[in-house]
Amino acid sequence: MEELLNIPFGFSRGAGSTRLVTTYDEAAAGLAAHGRAIVRVRAEAGAQPATLPAGYPFGWMATALGRTSSLACVTSPFVEARPISFVVITHRPEVLERHLAASPVIGGARHQLITVANPRSAAAGLNAGLAQAAHAVVAFVHHDVYLPPWWESQLETALRDLDRRDPEWGVLGPAGARLEGTQLHYAGSLLDGTASRRWGFPWGLPVEVDTLDELTLIVRREAGLRFDETLAGFHAYGTQLALAARARGLRNYAILAECEHRSESSGWSPDAAYFAAHAQVAKRWSRRPYGAMFGAIPWVLPAPWREAVVTHYGGAAGSH
């Protein structure tokens, strides 16, 4: 039975640190101990802006966090999600075993776990896993992601909602971005598990987005979406998938399906391979502006990648 839980909203932070855990996170963990999940959230507005910890990397969150006074959370007993085929590529099996494989949802026989070791590229490996998928819903998940006990309940609630609203959805995930005019908007909710840093917030979901973070991508097998194997390496494959879905008239959504990203590369910053991959995608799609997780493409690409994309279109797109 669903129940309503009202939470006075606030967040704690260590002095001079980038730790931020909200009362929502504390409530979610407490409910999980009793086999219940928060499956829908509505925010009640407050008046005061937030002050995030010094050096907190997600400054875009401050306004929404600070102007939220309370949360109306719909809670539900844990439910099993419909059968899912999980596809994961890995070059470090010990990371997979420590994180994704340790997730409660992975342990039983209900779902399928497909592991592709050391593929030549992300797209090739994920397509190989997709070809082995037995279930209608396929989730491509990074090997360093942990799916907490409430993940199945949140996912199934989101899927049932979309079954009614938009049964031919394209790509889903816990974090995404969309471009409105020249303004980039992020949407979604997850935890940076290695540093106890919240990214995003759980209210107002699902919300339509252009692209999704590649840590978790969920598709319908019958939609026939595949990764573009002309993309070498391990970047931009999710952006390409989401934009291909959108080009076919399918909508992509950030949904409430919270996970912990336990990345060991929290200090990583985009490198040449990253920008080159996104420039390749931008050359294909930038006539149709879109938002992406690191910025609106291609207009935030640094030189020489930005110039290469603009030149590809004879400079016509440069007025953005």
- Return the pLDDT at 269: 76
Statement to judge: residues 28 and 176 lie in one domain? no
Clarify whether residues 234 and 179 are in a common domain: yes
Q: Within this chain, do residues 227 and 178 fall inside the same structural domain, yes or no?
A: yes
Q: CA 204 from chain center: how many Å?
A: 15
Provide the domain limits for residue 134. 84-261
Tabulate helix, strand, coil % of the chain (nearest 5): 30, 30, 40
> Does 217 fall in a domain?
yes
For residue range 10-61, list pLDDT tens digits in order.
877 665 667 788 899 999 999 999 999 999 999 998 877 677 777 788 888 8
Q: How far apart are CA 57 and CA 299, in angstroms?
A: 21
Residues 199 and 242 placed together within one structural domain of the fold: yes
- Helix pair angle (272-285, 305-312), 10° resolution: 20
Predicted structure pTM score = 0.94
Q: What is the pLDDT of residues 154-168, one digit of tens each?
A: 999 999 999 999 999
Let me know whether 121 and 67 are in one domain.
no
Phi first, then psi: give them for residue 296, nearest 5 degrees.
-75, 120
**Closest Cα to residue 24, out of 68, 83, 54?**
68
Query: Facing residues of 297 across strands?
Result: 290
Domain edge (last residue) among 43, 77, 111: 77
pLDDT in tens, 210-266: 999 999 999 999 999 999 999 999 999 999 999 999 999 999 999 999 999 998 765
Q: Same domain, yes or no, for 153 and 36?
A: no
Residues 55 and 118 grouped into a single domain: no
3-state secondary structure of 86: strand
Number of domains in the chain: 3
Long-range contacts of 53-56 (CB under 8 A, 24+ apart): 53/13, 53/14, 53/16, 53/17, 53/18, 53/19, 53/20, 54/16, 54/18, 55/18, 56/13, 56/18, 56/20, 56/197
Do 90 and 197 lie in a common domain?
yes
Tell me: do 116 and 220 sit in the same domain. Answer: yes
Mean pLDDT over each residue of the chain, to the nearest integer: 91
Considering only 32-36, 73-77, 104-108, 114-118, which range has the smallest mean pLDDT?
104-108
Q: Three-class SS string for 163-200?
A: HHHCCCCCEEECEEEEEECCEEEEEEEEEECCCCEEEE
Q: Which are the contacts of 84, defined by CB distance < 8 A and separation ≥ 6?
A: 105, 111, 112, 135, 137, 138, 139, 155
Is the same domain home to 119 and 256?
yes
